[in-house]
Structures are given as structure tokens and as C-alpha cells.
Copies of this chain bind each other. A is one copy, B any other.
Amino acid sequence: VATQRLPGQRAGLSRDDVLSAARALLDEGGLDALSMRAVARRLGVAPNALYSHVAGKTELLDAVLDETLAAIDEPPPGAAAAEPAAAVLALMCSAYEVLAARPALVPLYVMRQGARGERSARFGEVLDGLLERLGLPAARIPEVRRVLIVHTIGFASLAAQSPDDPGERPVSADELARSLVHGLEWLLAGAVGSTTDAAVPDRARRGPGHA
């Protein structure tokens, strides 16, 4: 992108160029590597050129974060209707994987209120729909949504831990994923059980270890 330009010539930058450069820096060097000046350097422009396409660093980070959430797999409508509990598990696991794949973003997701972009909103709506289909009364849905998301993001942030600290036991990714699912099942069973006692299928109670 850094083709030599004479002074006064346009760089032909687009907002997407800025976002992808930011994403690339994030993946290569983590959150520390992502500075406005580094993005500009990578694009071959002056640092302040970015402000024509982005309001500031915060907006840039929010955009990258929300864009990332687009990769979350929504459960097919059929599965949502037939097995809502399994669909919740699948949805949360997908969110976990998406965030764990871009570890540097997780602390950001935590620092903010969980991102306010449209992808994030969509994720919440899909989850709410599944919880409704599970038979939860509308009044309990915000709490259960909160609990499930906190759990999932929390485990994503565990998975995102940089291996720069060799002193601690690493906790294999496998073990972490199993704990994630176990916790989700316990939370779901508790949430549903505190309302009706027979609304969660057996397989969401036993966990994958017994499959």
C-alpha cells in the first residue's frame, strides 16, 4: 500500500484499509502494537491522515471489535426451534472461538460494556430469542443473558492469555473448552430449573464427557 507518492498526491486510502491495517497489527503484535502511528506507518501515510477515515483510536478499536463479532455463527432456525438449549451452547461456543481467535480484542471487549456495535446487538438478540424459546419468562431473560455472556467472555479472556508467563501451568485449550461448556450447562440448567424443572433436555444436564 505504501507506493511512493509525490507531495500533494492522494493516497487513495479507504476506511476499510485503515481497519484491515489495524486488524493486522493486532494479530501480529497484540494490543500494544496497535497505535495510530503504527497503522499510518503500515499504510505509508502521515499519522494524521487516518483522521479523515476514523474519528480516533477508540472508534477504530470499536469498529474492529464489532467487525470481528460478525464471524459468530448463528444457529439455523430449525435447530433453534427444536433444540433451543443445544442452540444456546452452539452460539456461545462460536462466540468463544471467535474471540479466542483474536485474543488481543478480549480485554477491550471486557473494558467496554461488551461493545456497542450492531454485531454485538445482533448477538444479544439471537441469544434472547433462544432463551425465550427455552421457556424462560421475559423478566428473567436479561439476567440469564448477562450470566451466559459473562461466562463466555470470561473464558475467552482466559483462552486469550498470552503464553508470555511460563511460570503458571498452561491449562490446555481442550481443558478450557470443556470447562466453558460445563459451566454453560450448569448455568442453563440452573436458570431453567429455577422456573420449570423439566424444560432442559438431558444432554444439556449430563455434559459432553458422557456422550
* A189 at the B interface (CB under 8 A): yes
Q: Taking chain A's interface residues, is the majority helix, strand, or loop, or is none over half, making it mixed?
A: helix
* Chain B min CB distance to A206 (Å): 8
Which of B107, B111, B150, B185 is A183 in contact with, Cβ under 8 Å?
A: B150
Cβ distance A102 to chain B, nearest Cβ, rounded Å: 15
Scoring A residues 110 to 147 as 1 if CB is less than 8 Å from chain B, else 0, what string do you get?
Answer: 11010010000000000000000000000000010011
**With an 8 A cutoff between CB atoms, is A52 at the interface?**
no
Q: Given A113-B165, A154-B150, A154-B153, are A185 and B190 neighbors across the interface (CB < 8 Å)?
A: yes
- With an 8 A cutoff between CB atoms, is A37 at the interface? no
**Chain B residues positioned under 8 Å from A106 (CB to CB):** 110
Q: Mark A158-194, 1 if CB is under 8 A from B, else 0.
A: 1001000101100100011011001101110111001
User: What's the least CB distance linking A29 to chain B, in Å?
Assistant: 15
